C-alpha cells in the first residue's frame, strides 16, 4: 500500500504532519515543537476530491487547524516509515 506524507504549521508554530493512505484518509498525525513530538489527532475532509482538507487538533495549543492540499502534490512516504508520530 502506498502512503503519503503531508505537513503544515500550526499558528503556535508547531510542525503538524500526517500519513495518508491511497484514498487520502489519515492514518495518523503528529505535531512537533521545540524538539518534542506528540500525537495529534487528524482527519481528512473531502478526501475523494482532488482538493481536500486535513484537520488536526494541536496538542501544544489546543487549536483545531485545517489546511487544504492538492492530491497531485502529495509526496510518497519513504519505505519503512512506519511511525505515525514522525511523518
Per-residue pLDDT reduced to its tens digit, 43-72: 999 999 999 999 999 999 999 999 999 999
Domain membership of residue 65 as a residue range = 4-76
The answer to whether residue 33 sits within a structural domain is yes
| Whole-angstrom distance, CA of residue 62 vs CA of residue 21 | 26
| Whole-angstrom distance, CA of residue 17 vs CA of residue 24 | 14
Q: Which residue has the cell 495529534?
A: 40
Residue 81 or residue 77, greater confidence:
77
The answer to whether residue 87 sits within a structural domain is no
The answer to whether residue 83 sits within a structural domain is no
The answer to whether residue 45 sits within a structural domain is yes
The answer to whether residue 35 sits within a structural domain is yes
Say how many domains are in the chain: 1
Q: What pTM was computed for the model? A: 0.86
The answer to whether residue 84 sits within a structural domain is no
| Pairing state between β 75-76 and 64-70 | unpaired
Amino acid at each position: 500500500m502506498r502512503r503519503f506524507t503531508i505537513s503544515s504549521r500550526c499558528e503556535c508554530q508547531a510542525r503538524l504532519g500526517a500519513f495518508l493512505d491511497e484514498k487520502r484518509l489519515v492514518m495518523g498525525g503528529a505535531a512537533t515543537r521545540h524538539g518534542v513530538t506528540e500525537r495529534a489527532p487528524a482527519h481528512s475532509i473531502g478526501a475523494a476530491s482532488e482538493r481536500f482538507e486535513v484537520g488536526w487538533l494541536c496538542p501544544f495549543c489546543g487549536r483545531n487547524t485545517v489546511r487544504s492540499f492538492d492530491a497531485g502534490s502529495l509526496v510518497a512516504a519513504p519505505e519503512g516509515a512506519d511511525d505515525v508520530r514522525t511523518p
